[in-house]
Structure 1
Amino acid sequence: MTDNNTQEDQSIKRPTPKWVSVLEMISSRLNRIAAGISAILLVLMVGLILVEIVLRFFSLSTFMTDVLVGHGVAAITFLAAAWALEEGSMIRISAVTQVLRGRVRWATEAFCIVSVEILIVWLMYFEWRTVGKLWARGSTTEHYLPIPLWIPAAIFLVGLALLGLQILVRGARLISHGYDENSLLKL
């Protein structure tokens, strides 16, 4: 047990390779921009809901609040997911990995990272095709204000890409440091 702890202590002291630092910086900046957009969308959604409440006092409506808020909730969820993972705020079940040590822990972490990355790339492939179809067909919502359906689909695709990049950062940290912890993911 002492030998494993010594290996872990040494792996923490390794300098971060330049390519990992660059990847972290790019991912972190993109995640912060997406989280900022999510925050702005949240404020706009709250404002729209308040306007709708006031309008209903006068028997009026925007007729679009439900659609816009629905798309907004999806957008903020997917745009902020990578930032939440980067900040360690994403739910992670670590009951198994906490008791593992050394190479077994590394292999478990690597398996999880590779599996999630494969799943994200697979989802991105199908979402890319969906965005292309919606763009080519010119599909829109059937509401008062027709919104091109490729826009919400593209936001989902961007969110998946950011999440995939953040998972790639986790993998790079795992490779460069020997094991992975949330504290190692922050710049």
Structure 2
Amino acid sequence: MARIIRWLGRINEGVALVAGLGLLACVALILAEILARRFGAPIGGTDEISGYVMAAVTSWGIGYALTERAHVRIDLLRVRGGPGFRAALDCLALLSLAGVALVTAWHGWNVLEKTLGTGARANTALETPLWIPQAIWWAGWSWFALSAVVLAAGALTLAAKGRFESVGDIAGTEAAT
């Protein structure tokens, strides 16, 4: 299980790099739009593309944040308990997160499926086929759900073996693990 979790972390590092490059490309596009407007020749569509990029980067980036233990958690009770109590709260947090991610991915598929069925396009000058940004967004949520389920399974396995400190290494907060 430890090897799978390390593999997941490495993949999420690559995903974060691609997401960062996507944000940089978006910044470059916005800067080009600003310069083009200055000379009276706007590019157009940058607001729409930026929205798609932000949705994609967010949905894909949350998996990286998860493996880096960077999600915000209120750990007022967690820091006061012993290793078993902390491990139980860490498992509960991961199971809750996995549940939310699975539900979001499930409902996201319903949105994407409806768009694929209707062939919907954006009501903008670009007339983007909406299945493209929605598929990228949905794939990010699905990856996040998979990441959360794998980490939850790893945390539960470690907790069942009594390796409470190891649970904190993959599911705890950065502070006081």
State the TM bucket, normalised to the shorter chain: 0.7 to 0.9
Distance 2:129 2:14 in 1: 23
**Corresponding residue of 1:37:** 18
CA offsets per residue over residues 154-177 of structure 1, 9 Å max, x none?
222222222222222332332333
**Corresponding residue of 2:4:** 23
* TM-score normalized by the length of structure 2: 0.82
Distance 2:158 2:112 in 1: 37
Q: Quote how far apart the aligned CAs of 1:51 are.
A: 0.6
2:48 pairs, out of 64, 67, 84, with 67
Q: Quote how far apart the aligned CAs of 1:33 are.
A: 2.9
Gaps of 5+ in 1: 1-19
The secondary structure found in structure 2 opposite 1:153 is helix
TM-align CA RMSD: 2.0
1:136 pairs, out of 117, 121, 128, with 117
Distance change (3 Å), C-alpha of 1:102 and 1:89: closer
The secondary structure found in structure 2 opposite 1:98 is helix
1:140–1:148 Cα contact (<8 Å) kept: yes
1:80 pairs, out of 53, 61, 75, with 61
Distance 2:85 2:35 in 1: 59
Gaps of 5+ in 2: 172-177
Q: Does 1:90 align with 2:71?
A: yes
The secondary structure found in structure 1 opposite 2:80 is coil
1:176 pairs, out of 157, 167, 176, with 157
Q: Quote how far apart the aligned CAs of 1:22 are.
A: 4.0
1:31–1:162 Cα contact (<8 Å) kept: no
The secondary structure found in structure 2 opposite 1:63 is coil
Distance change (3 Å), C-alpha of 1:161 and 1:48: same
Q: Which has the larger radius of gyration?
A: 1
* TM-score normalized by the length of structure 1: 0.78
Name the amino acid aligned to 2:143.
L
Give identity over the alignment, percent.
Answer: 25
2:85 pairs, out of 96, 104, 107, with 104
